[in-house]
Amino acid sequence: MANMSYKCLTCGAELFWKADRNAFVCDYCEDSFTLDQLQEAGQTGEVDETKVQKAEELMEGEAAVSTDGTVGNNLVKYSCSHCGAEIITDRSTAATICVYCGNAVIMGEQIINDFAPDFVIPFSVEKKKVMEAFKEFSKKPLTPKSFDCEKVVDKMQGVYIPFWLYSGTCEGDVDAECYNEEKKRKGDYDIIKRDFYAVKRRGKVNFEFIPVDASSKTEDEAMDSIEPYDFKDFKPFNPAYLSGFLAERYDEDQEKCYPRAQERIENTTLDLIKDSCPYDSIHIERYDKDIKLSETKYAMMPAWLLYTTYKDKKYFFAMNGQTGKFVGSLPIDYGKLVVFSALGGILGAVIGFFIGG
């Protein structure tokens, strides 16, 4: 087995993970199988390290862009195990779809050893649904007429994004000056009475699975804004879930990504401490924190992504592949915008325009 894929137990064709059926489905005979059924039939999905296909380096000047639409510029090549075509892809791609034969190609060497994920959340939002959501989203009053949503939506890709998940404890120790305020009206005067308190608070927070995306290619802010993922759907990682999707392995290690988790943990701890202070005003004078990480897990989470360019500007749309939450921006027809501002609706229109559901 050069690349990895899962075969239909009825006809032997390639199987793909189908979100709407929550199963692996054969496009030819329509049969579907659970992971258990495949494993019982001997398709363990375990990666045989001795047999994984290694990426081949490109010759100088051989290719400037990937054939599979993955972004990045650190390119290597694989050959498709089904049709033999050469697939130029980014070095950190862990799964792709062969553009020539449409079959799933899973890069075994990108999901073993140091790159083996602990968990995966399988896609539960199907492509049809995300395409409809995007079409609905682009029916905005300010979208230029020439922005061809039907054409753009074809570029929508299901991508497994690598995440680090940090767990541990944070001890926070706070000195704060707080007050409660009382307002009274006396004759012609407002009288404000403030009672001041010197407050000390100490608390320990256990945190589990604080996620930080581990790919330099995804926009951190977009990933943050399609969170949260619901960790109840965590499955032990199995490469079978990747078939039919793109997948990125991490290219930023857990140390590099940690500061973003740290910031979230420190802010959350402080917020919880503040919540325990029943005062009208809280002014933090000192905040000491001590984070102890217990373990860091590596997981792949599903996202629908669409990058497009309109009149030389880049636009981005992302949807959480588990919950359907989305963010994005669309081109604006400035001619229409003028009409809108003349109508006085500009503020509401522009804000409503940039922030999706």
Q: Which stretch binds Zn ion (CB under 5 A): 20-28, 119-127, 264-272, 346-354?
A: 20-28
In the DSSP assignment, the letter for residue 207 is E
Q: Which residue has the tokens 């258990």?
A: 36
- Binder of Zn ion out of 1, 10, 155, 288 (CB under 5 A): 10
In the complex, least distance from residue 157 CB atom to Zn ion, rounded to whole angstroms: 17
Which is nearer to Zn ion, 95 or 306 (by Cβ)?
Answer: 95
* 86 binds Zn ion per the rule CB under 5 A: no
| Interface segment toward Zn ion; rule CB under 5 A; list 36-44, 78-86, 178-186, 302-310 | 78-86
φ/ψ of 271, rounded to 5, equals -60, -40
174 with 286: CB under 8 angstroms? yes
41 is a site residue for Zn ion (CB under 5 A): no
| DSSP output for 5-65 | --B-TTT--BEEEETTTTEEEETTT--EE-HHHHHHTT------TTTPPPPEEPPTTS-SS
Query: Quick one: which of 241, 293, 236 has its CA closest to 117?
Result: 236
3-state secondary structure of 327: strand
Helix intervals (H) in the chain: 35-40, 127-138, 149-152, 220-226, 254-275, 334-342, 346-354
Out of 65, 83, 338, 339, the residue judged to bind Zn ion by CB under 5 A? 83
**100 vs 179, beta carbon nearer Zn ion:** 100
Closer Cβ to Zn ion, 83 or 338, answer by number: 83
**Would you count residue 13 as binding Zn ion (CB under 5 A)?**
yes
Measured from the CB of residue 33, what is the shortest distance to Zn ion in angstroms? 9
- Using CB under 5 A as the binding rule, whether residue 29 contacts Zn ion is answered as yes
Count residues near Zn ion (CB under 5 A): 14
315 binds Zn ion (CB under 5 A): no
- CB 83 → Zn ion: shortest distance, Å? 3
Helix, strand and coil percent figures for the chain, each rounded to 5: 25, 40, 40
Site string for Zn ion, 100-119 (x = CB under 5 A): xx------------------
Site residues (vs Zn ion, CB under 5 A): 8, 10-11, 13, 26, 28-29, 80, 82-83, 85, 98, 100-101
